[in-house]
Amino acid sequence: MTRLSLGALACALVLSLPAAASDSREVRKTLPARPGLTVEVENLAGTVRIEAATGNEVEIVAHLHAEGDDDAETKKLLSLLDVAFEGTGDRFAARAVFPVESHGTIHYPDPQRREEEHGFLSLFGISRSTVRYQGRRVTVVSGRRRHAPTLYADFRLRVPAGVAVSVRHAVGLVTGGGLKGAAAVDAQSADVKLHGIGGRLDVKTGSGDVAIRDVDGDSNVQTGSGDVSFDGARGAVALHTGSGDVTLKNARGDVKASTGSGDVTLADVESKTVSASTGSGNVVLERVSGSLELETGSGDVHATRVTSLERVHVETGSGNVVLRGDLSAARDVKLDTSSGDVSVSLDRPLAMRLDVRASSGDISVDLPDMRTVRRDDHALVAEVGSGGATFHVQTSSGDVHVGAR
């Protein structure tokens, strides 16, 4: 099939879809806040926005949307979309009820994918997410299709201080913040953008980007595929993505950051322990303090202006290692790369026993108060100062330089 005929087919399909008629209605619920209350919101497609409330009431507002071929069909579709409320003990739930029994495919005109909606591939439902909702498999597509009704719900949840929030969302966006309580988000294929959480934060998404700012509490963020960015953490932080970049800035607390494929970047972190790893990608640290565990299967490790506590372990299967900073408090340093150069620059003296091995490469060491114990073409053992710390550097293929600033 020629490009011209593909374009003609796309135009024909666009013209075959009738102009949509849209309608919406609002569902609103308020309830008194009380200590220990958790408010849950569950949605298939649309948005969930979380906001702080100044009074003593929880407010849940859902805007329900439908689009059909004409006004009559739109009103019928809108009547099939509703919100169910249920309260049990210290939990109150608002659940969007979609007609998934009769419609296995739903069209959601995601504002983040407006351009895709008019593209050629979207006409065939290429941009799609298949999820579990109300006990059934449902496909949500971003482009209009015949026999796929346009139905979605936009929630706004306003909660006072002390009320926890739990969101289960399939496709779309979870956003908001300013909360003085814990928050949990479980999304299947949705982006999450939150700020100002005054309690523990748990985010889990199968596919989607996660952007977090300013959390006062421990945080655990996981996504199967997507980027994770976090700016402003006061508490222990665990960040993971199966495929994507991880970025953490301005953190005070223990850190564990990992990705299956992508870069890990940490900046302005004060911690007792910092762990960063990637299967394929670079690990970059700047102005980070704490005991360091850094690992990459394939990629560089670049740590500058770091301050170490007791332990520094760096390992890469294939890549260069650069370590610069104040390691005067370190007692156990191990830098290992199978293929790559290693460069170390110390801001302050470190009394240590230095053991450097380079199977294929040059060794250059320039440290004050150093006494060579043993040296050959591929190894160096030396005492620096009064000894004490163990400092081991090894590369199978690459050069090694250790010096002081």
Output the DSSP codes for 384-398.
ETT--EEEEEEESSS
Give the mean pLDDT of 90-101: 96
Q: Find how far residue 328's CA is from the centre of its chain.
A: 33
What confidence tens digit (pLDDT) does each residue in 189-218 have? 999 999 999 999 999 999 999 999 999 999
Phi and psi torsions of 215, nearest 5°: -125, 125
Give the mean pLDDT of 57-86: 95
Do 368 and 357 meet the contact criterion of CB atoms below 8 Å apart? no
Do 349 and 385 meet the contact criterion of CB atoms below 8 Å apart? yes
Residue 358 forms part of a structural domain: no
Residue 379 forms part of a structural domain: no
Rounded distance, CA 188 to CA 282, Å?
Answer: 28
Dihedral of the CA atoms 342, 347, 353, 357 (nearest 10)?
10
What confidence tens digit (pLDDT) does each residue in 288-343 have? 999 999 999 999 999 999 998 899 999 999 999 999 999 999 999 999 999 999 99
**pTM of the predicted model as reported, rounded to 2 decimal places:** 0.89
Rounded distance, CA 368 to CA 362, Å?
Answer: 20
Do 158 and 181 meet the contact criterion of CB atoms below 8 Å apart? no
69: how many CB neighbours lie within 10 A of its CB? Answer: 15
Buried b (16+ CB within 10 A) or exposed e, 124-161: ebebbbebebeeeebbbbbbbbeebbbbbbbbbbbbbe
Q: What is the share, in percent, of the chain residues with pLDDT greater than 70?
A: 91
Residue 134 forms part of a structural domain: yes
Q: How confident is the model at residue 86 (pLDDT cuts 50, 70, 90)?
A: very high
Domain coverage including residue 122: 12-158
Do 370 and 312 meet the contact criterion of CB atoms below 8 Å apart? no
Residue 206 forms part of a structural domain: no
What confidence tens digit (pLDDT) does each residue in 138-186 have? 999 988 887 889 999 999 999 999 999 999 999 999 999 999 999 999 9
Which residues, other chains included, contact 34 with Cβ-Cβ below 8 Å and sequence gap of 6+? none
Residue 388 forms part of a structural domain: no
Residue 295 forms part of a structural domain: no
Q: How confident is the model at residue 126 (pLDDT cuts 50, 70, 90)?
A: low
Rounded distance, CA 283 to CA 346, Å?
Answer: 19
Residue 49 forms part of a structural domain: yes
pLDDT at residue 93 greater than cutoff 60: yes
Q: How far is CA 185 from CA 35, 42, 139, 164, 244, in A?
A: 20, 10, 21, 11, 19
Q: Supply the pLDDT for residue 387.
A: 81
What confidence tens digit (pLDDT) does each residue in 9-58 have? 444 444 455 556 889 999 999 999 998 999 999 999 999 999 999 889 99
Residue 338 forms part of a structural domain: no
Q: Supply the pLDDT for residue 120.
A: 45
Count: domains in the chain: 1
